[in-house]
């Protein structure tokens, strides 16, 4: 299924964290928090400004981004959980 977000919305796939700490302790599922890092899968065309022109988004497809703990809306696409959020919910882009 292909999804094309509208306006300044972004489709993000969460990147799962390691199940072990650096000391070798295994973290149980009940103690894990949802990751706050993800990969951008799709972006919308941008927000419309007051003058009617499109303002392009700073993030692009395949960027790794950081977002707030409660940012976005969880959706399932082909059985895989994704987040759809506004560009304002993105805290930063992870540089490689």
**Residue-range domains of the chain with CATH:** 9-17+28-94 (2.30.33.40)
Three-class DSSP category at 30 = helix
pLDDT tens track for 58-84 = 999 999 999 988 888 999 988 888 999
Distance (Å, whole) CA 66 – CA 75: 18
Q: Residues 32, 16: contact at Cβ < 8 Å?
A: no
> 31: alpha, beta or left, given left = phi > 0 and alpha = psi -120 to 50?
alpha
The pLDDT value recorded for residue 15 is 85
Q: Residues 60, 93: contact at Cβ < 8 Å?
A: no
For the whole prediction, is pTM greater than 0.85? no
């Amino acid at each position: 299924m292909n999804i094309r977000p509208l306006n300044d919305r972004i489709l993000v796939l969460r990147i799962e964290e390691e199940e072990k700490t650096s000391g070798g302790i295994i973290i149980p599922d009940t103690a894990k928090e949802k990751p706050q890092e993800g990969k951008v899968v799709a972006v919308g065309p941008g927000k419309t400004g007051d003058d009617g022109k499109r303002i392009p988004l700073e993030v692009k497809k395949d960027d790794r981004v950081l977002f707030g703990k409660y940012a976005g809306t969880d959706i399932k696409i082909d059985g895989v959980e994704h987040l759809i959020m506004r560009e304002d919910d993105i805290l930063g882009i992870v540089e490689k």
